[in-house]
Structure 1
Amino acid sequence: MPQRRASKPQQQHLQHRDTHFRTPVAGTRWRVASLYAWIALSVLFLPSPASAHSGTGLQGGLAAGFAHPFSGTDHMLAMLSVGLWGAILGRPLITLLPMVFPAVMAVGGVLGIAGVPIPPVELGIAMSVLVLGGLVLGAVRPPIWAACIIVAFFAVFHGYAHGQELPSAADPVGYSAGFVVATGFLHLIGIGIGTIRDWPGGANALRCAGGLVALCGALFLGQAL
Protein backbone atom coordinates (compact mmCIF):
# COMPACT_ATOMS: atom_id res chain seq x y z
CA MET A 1 0.00 0.00 0.00
CA PRO A 2 1.27 3.52 -0.75
CA GLN A 3 2.36 5.40 2.36
CA ARG A 4 0.33 8.40 3.37
CA ARG A 5 2.18 11.66 3.09
CA ALA A 6 2.31 13.59 6.36
CA SER A 7 0.33 16.78 6.44
CA LYS A 8 2.09 20.12 6.82
CA PRO A 9 1.33 20.41 10.58
CA GLN A 10 2.64 16.86 11.06
CA GLN A 11 5.81 17.72 9.12
CA GLN A 12 6.35 20.78 11.30
CA HIS A 13 5.89 18.63 14.42
CA LEU A 14 8.41 16.04 13.17
CA GLN A 15 10.90 18.77 12.31
CA HIS A 16 10.49 20.29 15.77
CA ARG A 17 10.96 16.85 17.34
CA ASP A 18 14.20 16.25 15.39
CA THR A 19 15.52 19.63 16.45
CA HIS A 20 14.60 18.84 20.04
CA PHE A 21 16.62 15.63 19.94
CA ARG A 22 19.64 17.28 18.30
CA THR A 23 19.86 20.11 20.80
CA PRO A 24 21.29 18.04 23.71
CA VAL A 25 24.09 16.86 21.41
CA ALA A 26 25.12 20.42 20.66
CA GLY A 27 24.85 21.24 24.34
CA THR A 28 27.07 18.29 25.19
CA ARG A 29 29.72 19.46 22.73
CA TRP A 30 29.58 22.90 24.30
CA ARG A 31 30.01 21.48 27.81
CA VAL A 32 32.89 19.21 26.78
CA ALA A 33 34.75 22.02 25.02
CA SER A 34 34.11 24.35 27.96
CA LEU A 35 35.55 21.73 30.30
CA TYR A 36 38.70 21.53 28.17
CA ALA A 37 38.97 25.32 28.21
CA TRP A 38 38.62 25.51 31.99
CA ILE A 39 41.24 22.78 32.43
CA ALA A 40 43.62 24.61 30.14
CA LEU A 41 43.11 27.91 31.94
CA SER A 42 43.66 26.25 35.30
CA VAL A 43 46.86 24.68 34.01
CA LEU A 44 48.15 27.97 32.62
CA PHE A 45 47.79 29.70 35.97
CA LEU A 46 49.49 27.03 38.02
CA PRO A 47 52.51 28.40 39.93
CA SER A 48 55.66 27.85 37.89
CA PRO A 49 59.35 28.49 38.46
CA ALA A 50 61.38 30.72 36.17
CA SER A 51 62.56 27.71 34.18
CA ALA A 52 61.59 24.04 34.22
CA HIS A 53 64.76 22.98 32.44
CA SER A 54 67.52 24.01 34.84
CA GLY A 55 69.14 20.56 34.64
CA THR A 56 69.40 20.19 38.42
CA GLY A 57 67.60 16.84 38.43
CA LEU A 58 64.27 15.96 40.01
CA GLN A 59 63.57 13.33 42.65
CA GLY A 60 60.54 11.10 42.43
CA GLY A 61 58.75 8.71 40.14
CA LEU A 62 55.50 8.59 38.20
CA ALA A 63 53.76 11.42 40.09
CA ALA A 64 56.77 13.72 39.85
CA GLY A 65 57.13 13.01 36.14
CA PHE A 66 53.47 13.72 35.50
CA ALA A 67 53.57 17.00 37.44
CA HIS A 68 56.77 18.31 35.88
CA PRO A 69 55.42 19.42 32.44
CA PHE A 70 52.89 21.62 34.22
CA SER A 71 55.66 23.44 36.08
CA GLY A 72 57.13 25.01 32.96
CA THR A 73 55.10 27.47 30.87
CA ASP A 74 57.33 26.96 27.83
CA HIS A 75 56.78 23.19 27.68
CA MET A 76 53.08 23.56 28.47
CA LEU A 77 52.46 26.07 25.68
CA ALA A 78 54.35 23.95 23.15
CA MET A 79 52.31 20.85 24.03
CA LEU A 80 49.02 22.74 23.82
CA SER A 81 50.07 24.21 20.47
CA VAL A 82 50.73 20.74 19.03
CA GLY A 83 47.15 19.80 19.93
CA LEU A 84 45.73 23.07 18.59
CA TRP A 85 47.61 22.74 15.32
CA GLY A 86 46.52 19.14 14.94
CA ALA A 87 42.90 20.16 15.46
CA ILE A 88 43.26 22.80 12.75
CA LEU A 89 44.89 20.37 10.30
CA GLY A 90 42.34 17.61 10.92
CA ARG A 91 42.82 13.96 9.98
CA PRO A 92 45.24 12.27 9.98
CA LEU A 93 47.45 14.84 11.70
CA ILE A 94 45.03 15.42 14.57
CA THR A 95 46.03 11.98 15.82
CA LEU A 96 49.44 11.66 14.17
CA LEU A 97 51.10 14.74 15.67
CA PRO A 98 50.29 13.81 19.31
CA MET A 99 51.82 10.41 18.58
CA VAL A 100 54.96 11.69 16.86
CA PHE A 101 55.87 14.21 19.54
CA PRO A 102 56.03 11.87 22.59
CA ALA A 103 57.79 9.17 20.54
CA VAL A 104 60.54 11.50 19.34
CA MET A 105 60.65 13.20 22.73
CA ALA A 106 61.63 9.82 24.20
CA VAL A 107 64.50 9.65 21.70
CA GLY A 108 65.58 13.12 22.79
CA GLY A 109 65.46 11.94 26.39
CA VAL A 110 67.86 9.11 25.56
CA LEU A 111 70.21 11.62 23.91
CA GLY A 112 70.03 13.75 27.04
CA ILE A 113 70.85 10.82 29.31
CA ALA A 114 73.78 9.86 27.08
CA GLY A 115 75.03 13.45 27.03
CA VAL A 116 75.10 13.64 23.23
CA PRO A 117 75.83 17.28 22.31
CA ILE A 118 73.07 19.14 20.46
CA PRO A 119 72.39 22.86 19.80
CA PRO A 120 71.39 25.00 22.83
CA VAL A 121 68.36 23.31 24.42
CA GLU A 122 66.73 26.42 25.86
CA LEU A 123 66.98 28.10 22.47
CA GLY A 124 65.29 25.14 20.79
CA ILE A 125 62.48 25.06 23.36
CA ALA A 126 61.86 28.79 23.01
CA MET A 127 61.82 28.44 19.22
CA SER A 128 59.30 25.59 19.51
CA VAL A 129 56.84 27.85 21.33
CA LEU A 130 57.39 30.68 18.85
CA VAL A 131 57.10 28.52 15.70
CA LEU A 132 54.21 26.32 16.83
CA GLY A 133 52.27 29.37 17.99
CA GLY A 134 52.95 31.01 14.62
CA LEU A 135 51.71 27.94 12.77
CA VAL A 136 48.45 28.08 14.71
CA LEU A 137 48.21 31.84 14.13
CA GLY A 138 48.63 31.43 10.39
CA ALA A 139 46.57 28.20 10.22
CA VAL A 140 49.47 26.87 8.15
CA ARG A 141 48.71 23.60 6.33
CA PRO A 142 51.95 21.93 5.20
CA PRO A 143 52.16 18.41 3.76
CA ILE A 144 51.75 15.60 6.27
CA TRP A 145 55.44 14.69 6.21
CA ALA A 146 56.50 18.31 6.76
CA ALA A 147 54.18 18.78 9.74
CA CYS A 148 55.56 15.61 11.33
CA ILE A 149 59.15 16.73 10.79
CA ILE A 150 58.47 20.13 12.38
CA VAL A 151 56.90 18.58 15.46
CA ALA A 152 59.57 15.88 15.71
CA PHE A 153 62.38 18.42 15.45
CA PHE A 154 61.16 20.41 18.44
CA ALA A 155 60.30 17.25 20.38
CA VAL A 156 64.01 16.41 20.48
CA PHE A 157 64.79 19.56 22.48
CA HIS A 158 61.99 19.01 24.97
CA GLY A 159 63.01 15.38 25.47
CA TYR A 160 66.70 16.23 25.75
CA ALA A 161 66.10 18.82 28.47
CA HIS A 162 64.28 16.34 30.66
CA GLY A 163 66.54 13.45 29.75
CA GLN A 164 69.38 15.34 31.40
CA GLU A 165 67.41 15.26 34.65
CA LEU A 166 66.49 11.58 34.59
CA PRO A 167 69.70 10.01 35.91
CA SER A 168 69.32 11.76 39.29
CA ALA A 169 65.67 10.82 39.69
CA ALA A 170 64.79 8.16 42.26
CA ASP A 171 62.76 6.23 39.65
CA PRO A 172 63.82 7.22 36.11
CA VAL A 173 61.44 4.76 34.42
CA GLY A 174 58.40 5.91 36.41
CA TYR A 175 59.39 9.54 35.98
CA SER A 176 59.72 9.12 32.21
CA ALA A 177 56.34 7.38 31.99
CA GLY A 178 54.64 10.13 33.99
CA PHE A 179 56.21 12.82 31.86
CA VAL A 180 55.10 11.19 28.59
CA VAL A 181 51.55 10.69 29.90
CA ALA A 182 51.34 14.33 30.98
CA THR A 183 52.60 15.42 27.56
CA GLY A 184 49.85 13.40 25.87
CA PHE A 185 47.31 14.90 28.25
CA LEU A 186 48.39 18.41 27.25
CA HIS A 187 48.05 17.43 23.58
CA LEU A 188 44.48 16.27 24.27
CA ILE A 189 43.64 19.54 25.99
CA GLY A 190 44.90 21.42 22.94
CA ILE A 191 42.83 19.23 20.63
CA GLY A 192 39.77 19.74 22.83
CA ILE A 193 40.17 23.50 22.71
CA GLY A 194 40.70 23.25 18.96
CA THR A 195 37.17 21.91 18.50
CA ILE A 196 35.91 25.49 18.66
CA ARG A 197 37.15 25.91 15.09
CA ASP A 198 33.71 24.84 13.86
CA TRP A 199 31.89 27.46 15.91
CA PRO A 200 31.09 30.95 14.62
CA GLY A 201 34.26 32.96 15.12
CA GLY A 202 36.05 29.90 16.49
CA ALA A 203 38.75 29.88 13.80
CA ASN A 204 39.64 33.48 14.57
CA ALA A 205 39.74 32.72 18.29
CA LEU A 206 42.22 29.90 17.66
CA ARG A 207 44.41 32.17 15.57
CA CYS A 208 44.40 34.76 18.33
CA ALA A 209 45.42 32.05 20.80
CA GLY A 210 48.26 31.09 18.46
CA GLY A 211 49.36 34.71 18.33
CA LEU A 212 49.53 34.86 22.13
CA VAL A 213 51.57 31.66 22.23
CA ALA A 214 53.94 33.02 19.59
CA LEU A 215 54.34 36.21 21.62
CA CYS A 216 55.27 34.16 24.67
CA GLY A 217 57.73 32.24 22.49
CA ALA A 218 59.35 35.50 21.42
CA LEU A 219 59.76 36.46 25.09
CA PHE A 220 61.27 33.05 25.89
CA LEU A 221 63.62 33.44 22.92
CA GLY A 222 64.76 36.82 24.17
CA GLN A 223 65.58 35.27 27.54
CA ALA A 224 67.43 32.34 25.94
CA LEU A 225 69.65 34.52 23.71
Structure 2
Amino acid sequence: MLPSMTRKAALSALLLAAAAAPAYAHVGVDSTSSFATGFGHPLSGLDHVTVMIAVGLWAALKGGRAIWAWPAAFVGVMLIGGTLGMLHVPFPFVEPGILASVVAFGLLVALAVDLPVAAGSVVIALFALLHGNAHGTEVPESAGGLDYMAGFALATVLLHGVGIAAGLGLSLKFRYLVRAAGAACAAIGVGLALGAI
Protein backbone atom coordinates (compact mmCIF):
# COMPACT_ATOMS: atom_id res chain seq x y z
CA MET A 1 0.00 0.00 0.00
CA LEU A 2 1.28 3.47 -0.89
CA PRO A 3 1.92 5.99 1.89
CA SER A 4 -0.73 8.69 2.26
CA MET A 5 1.54 11.46 0.93
CA THR A 6 2.42 9.41 -2.16
CA ARG A 7 -1.28 8.78 -2.84
CA LYS A 8 -2.00 12.50 -2.53
CA ALA A 9 0.84 13.37 -4.88
CA ALA A 10 -0.34 10.76 -7.38
CA LEU A 11 -3.91 12.05 -7.18
CA SER A 12 -2.72 15.62 -7.74
CA ALA A 13 -0.67 14.57 -10.75
CA LEU A 14 -3.62 12.60 -12.13
CA LEU A 15 -5.92 15.62 -11.79
CA LEU A 16 -3.42 17.83 -13.58
CA ALA A 17 -2.94 15.28 -16.36
CA ALA A 18 -6.68 14.77 -16.80
CA ALA A 19 -7.14 18.51 -17.10
CA ALA A 20 -4.52 18.83 -19.84
CA ALA A 21 -7.05 19.71 -22.52
CA PRO A 22 -6.27 22.14 -25.32
CA ALA A 23 -6.17 25.75 -24.17
CA TYR A 24 -9.25 27.04 -25.96
CA ALA A 25 -10.45 28.87 -22.90
CA HIS A 26 -11.02 32.31 -24.38
CA VAL A 27 -12.26 31.82 -27.89
CA GLY A 28 -15.98 31.29 -27.35
CA VAL A 29 -15.79 27.60 -28.25
CA ASP A 30 -19.06 26.71 -26.55
CA SER A 31 -22.30 28.22 -25.37
CA THR A 32 -21.91 30.39 -22.29
CA SER A 33 -25.47 30.60 -21.08
CA SER A 34 -25.78 27.97 -18.36
CA PHE A 35 -24.43 27.10 -14.94
CA ALA A 36 -23.15 23.73 -16.22
CA THR A 37 -21.26 25.34 -19.09
CA GLY A 38 -19.80 27.92 -16.71
CA PHE A 39 -18.77 25.18 -14.31
CA GLY A 40 -17.09 23.22 -17.07
CA HIS A 41 -15.34 26.18 -18.64
CA PRO A 42 -12.38 26.47 -16.21
CA LEU A 43 -11.77 22.76 -16.71
CA SER A 44 -11.65 23.11 -20.49
CA GLY A 45 -8.36 24.96 -20.82
CA LEU A 46 -4.94 24.18 -19.48
CA ASP A 47 -4.34 27.86 -18.72
CA HIS A 48 -7.31 27.95 -16.34
CA VAL A 49 -6.54 24.73 -14.55
CA THR A 50 -2.89 25.60 -14.13
CA VAL A 51 -3.48 29.10 -12.75
CA MET A 52 -6.25 28.07 -10.36
CA ILE A 53 -4.23 25.20 -8.93
CA ALA A 54 -1.08 27.35 -8.72
CA VAL A 55 -2.94 29.98 -6.68
CA GLY A 56 -3.97 27.22 -4.28
CA LEU A 57 -0.43 25.85 -4.09
CA TRP A 58 0.97 29.32 -3.39
CA ALA A 59 -1.65 29.92 -0.70
CA ALA A 60 -0.75 26.58 0.91
CA LEU A 61 2.95 27.45 0.89
CA LYS A 62 2.21 30.79 2.56
CA GLY A 63 -0.24 29.29 5.05
CA GLY A 64 -2.26 31.20 7.62
CA ARG A 65 -4.75 33.75 6.29
CA ALA A 66 -3.47 33.32 2.73
CA ILE A 67 -5.18 29.92 2.54
CA TRP A 68 -8.57 31.61 2.36
CA ALA A 69 -7.68 35.22 1.47
CA TRP A 70 -5.81 34.55 -1.76
CA PRO A 71 -8.43 32.27 -3.36
CA ALA A 72 -11.16 34.66 -2.16
CA ALA A 73 -9.31 37.58 -3.76
CA PHE A 74 -9.03 35.69 -7.04
CA VAL A 75 -12.68 34.66 -7.19
CA GLY A 76 -14.02 38.03 -6.03
CA VAL A 77 -11.98 40.11 -8.45
CA MET A 78 -12.55 37.57 -11.24
CA LEU A 79 -16.29 38.15 -10.85
CA ILE A 80 -15.74 41.91 -11.01
CA GLY A 81 -13.71 41.43 -14.19
CA GLY A 82 -16.45 39.18 -15.54
CA THR A 83 -19.07 41.81 -14.87
CA LEU A 84 -16.97 44.44 -16.63
CA GLY A 85 -16.56 42.06 -19.55
CA MET A 86 -20.30 41.53 -19.73
CA LEU A 87 -20.67 45.32 -19.85
CA HIS A 88 -18.16 45.37 -22.75
CA VAL A 89 -15.54 47.35 -20.83
CA PRO A 90 -12.36 46.70 -22.87
CA PHE A 91 -9.12 45.67 -21.21
CA PRO A 92 -5.81 45.79 -23.07
CA PHE A 93 -3.57 42.75 -23.31
CA VAL A 94 -6.04 40.29 -21.78
CA GLU A 95 -4.76 37.15 -23.50
CA PRO A 96 -1.04 37.92 -23.01
CA GLY A 97 -1.83 38.80 -19.39
CA ILE A 98 -3.57 35.48 -18.87
CA LEU A 99 -0.62 33.58 -20.31
CA ALA A 100 1.72 35.68 -18.15
CA SER A 101 -0.35 34.70 -15.11
CA VAL A 102 0.35 31.01 -15.73
CA VAL A 103 4.10 31.67 -15.77
CA ALA A 104 3.97 34.16 -12.88
CA PHE A 105 2.02 31.97 -10.48
CA GLY A 106 4.15 28.99 -11.40
CA LEU A 107 7.29 30.97 -10.56
CA LEU A 108 5.79 32.30 -7.33
CA VAL A 109 5.27 28.69 -6.23
CA ALA A 110 8.55 27.34 -7.63
CA LEU A 111 10.55 30.06 -5.90
CA ALA A 112 8.37 29.91 -2.77
CA VAL A 113 8.00 33.71 -2.89
CA ASP A 114 6.85 34.83 0.55
CA LEU A 115 4.85 38.03 0.09
CA PRO A 116 2.69 39.58 2.81
CA VAL A 117 -0.93 38.45 2.46
CA ALA A 118 -2.08 41.90 1.30
CA ALA A 119 0.64 42.16 -1.36
CA GLY A 120 -0.11 38.65 -2.59
CA SER A 121 -3.78 39.55 -2.81
CA VAL A 122 -2.94 42.53 -5.04
CA VAL A 123 -0.86 40.36 -7.40
CA ILE A 124 -3.64 37.78 -7.53
CA ALA A 125 -6.31 40.44 -8.07
CA LEU A 126 -4.51 41.96 -11.06
CA PHE A 127 -4.43 38.65 -12.89
CA ALA A 128 -7.91 37.63 -11.72
CA LEU A 129 -9.34 40.79 -13.29
CA LEU A 130 -7.96 39.71 -16.67
CA HIS A 131 -9.27 36.15 -16.32
CA GLY A 132 -12.71 37.41 -15.37
CA ASN A 133 -12.84 40.01 -18.12
CA ALA A 134 -11.97 37.43 -20.77
CA HIS A 135 -14.88 35.27 -19.71
CA GLY A 136 -17.30 38.10 -19.18
CA THR A 137 -16.86 39.21 -22.78
CA GLU A 138 -17.98 35.74 -23.90
CA VAL A 139 -21.25 35.80 -21.96
CA PRO A 140 -24.37 36.59 -23.96
CA GLU A 141 -26.54 39.48 -22.84
CA SER A 142 -29.08 37.37 -21.00
CA ALA A 143 -29.89 36.25 -17.49
CA GLY A 144 -28.09 33.02 -18.36
CA GLY A 145 -24.82 34.94 -18.15
CA LEU A 146 -25.24 35.15 -14.39
CA ASP A 147 -25.71 31.38 -14.23
CA TYR A 148 -22.56 30.94 -16.29
CA MET A 149 -20.53 33.18 -13.97
CA ALA A 150 -21.82 31.34 -10.90
CA GLY A 151 -20.71 28.03 -12.41
CA PHE A 152 -17.35 29.47 -13.37
CA ALA A 153 -16.82 30.82 -9.84
CA LEU A 154 -17.66 27.49 -8.20
CA ALA A 155 -15.30 25.55 -10.47
CA THR A 156 -12.57 28.10 -9.74
CA VAL A 157 -13.07 27.65 -6.00
CA LEU A 158 -12.82 23.88 -6.37
CA LEU A 159 -9.61 24.13 -8.42
CA HIS A 160 -8.11 26.44 -5.80
CA GLY A 161 -9.12 23.80 -3.26
CA VAL A 162 -7.25 21.11 -5.21
CA GLY A 163 -4.12 23.27 -5.14
CA ILE A 164 -4.50 24.01 -1.43
CA ALA A 165 -5.09 20.35 -0.56
CA ALA A 166 -2.11 19.22 -2.63
CA GLY A 167 0.06 21.99 -1.23
CA LEU A 168 -0.84 21.31 2.38
CA GLY A 169 -0.61 17.56 1.94
CA LEU A 170 2.81 17.67 0.33
CA SER A 171 4.42 20.63 2.06
CA LEU A 172 4.71 18.89 5.41
CA LYS A 173 7.38 16.45 4.20
CA PHE A 174 7.72 17.07 0.50
CA ARG A 175 7.84 20.85 0.09
CA TYR A 176 10.18 20.40 -2.86
CA LEU A 177 7.35 18.61 -4.73
CA VAL A 178 5.10 21.64 -4.29
CA ARG A 179 7.84 23.85 -5.66
CA ALA A 180 8.43 21.39 -8.52
CA ALA A 181 4.71 21.61 -9.33
CA GLY A 182 5.13 25.38 -9.49
CA ALA A 183 8.01 24.97 -11.93
CA ALA A 184 5.80 22.69 -14.02
CA CYS A 185 3.08 25.38 -14.01
CA ALA A 186 5.57 27.97 -15.23
CA ALA A 187 6.78 25.59 -17.95
CA ILE A 188 3.18 25.01 -19.06
CA GLY A 189 2.73 28.78 -19.29
CA VAL A 190 5.82 29.14 -21.47
CA GLY A 191 4.64 26.25 -23.64
CA LEU A 192 1.23 27.85 -24.08
CA ALA A 193 2.77 31.24 -24.90
CA LEU A 194 5.02 29.68 -27.54
CA GLY A 195 2.19 27.58 -28.97
CA ALA A 196 4.04 24.36 -28.12
CA ILE A 197 1.17 23.06 -25.97
TM-score w.r.t. length of structure 1: 0.78
Decide which of 186, 189, 197 is 1:217's aligned counterpart. Answer: 189
Per-residue deviation, 1:47:
6.3
Structure 2: how far apart are the matches of 1:170 and 1:40? 37
Task: Pick closer, same or farther for the CA change 1:146–1:109 going to 2, 3 Å.
Answer: same
Shift of 1:42: 3.2
Distance 1:206 1:61 in 2: 35
Contact 1:61 1:169 survives alignment (8 Å)? no
C-alpha change, 1:47 and 1:203, in structure 2 (3 Å) is closer
Q: Distance in 2 between matches of 1:217 and 1:50?
A: 11
Runs of 4+ with >4 A deviation: none
Whole-angstrom distance in 2 between the partners of 1:88 and 1:164? 33
Specify the alignment match of 2:158 in structure 1.
185
Structure 1 CA distance for aligned equivalents of residues 52 and 101 of structure 2: 10
> What is the SS of the residue equivalent to 2:67?
helix
Q: Is the 8 A contact 1:53 1:161 kept in 2?
A: yes
Structure with bigger gyration radius: 1
State the identity %: 40
Give 1:220 shift.
2.2
CA distance in 2, matches of 1:169, 1:38: 38
Q: Structure 2 vs 1, CA of residues 192 and 132 (structure 1 numbering), >3 Å: closer, same or farther?
A: same
AA in 2 matched with 1:67? G
Matches within 5 A, 1:1-225: 30=4, 34=7, 37-38=10-11, 41-46=14-19, 48-55=21-28, 58-167=31-140, 171-195=144-168, 196-199=170-173, 202-223=174-195
Bigger mean CA deviation after superposition, 106-115 or 184-193? 106-115
Matched AA of 1:210: G
Q: Deviations over 1:15-40 (max 9, x none)?
A: xxxxxxxxxxxx7xx37x83585266
Letter of the 1:52 partner, please give it.
A
Give the counterpart letter for 1:161 in structure 2.
A
Taking only aligned residues, the RMSD between alpha carbons, in angstroms, comes to: 2.3
Distance 1:216 1:58, change over 3 A: same
Give unpaired runs (5+ residues) of structure 2: none
> Hey, what's the Cα distance between the residues in 2 that align with 1:164 and 1:69?
15
Question: Is the CA contact (8 Å cut-off) linking 1:81 and 1:136 kept in structure 2?
Answer: yes
The AA in structure 2 aligned to 1:214 is A
Distance 1:169 1:48 in 2: 28
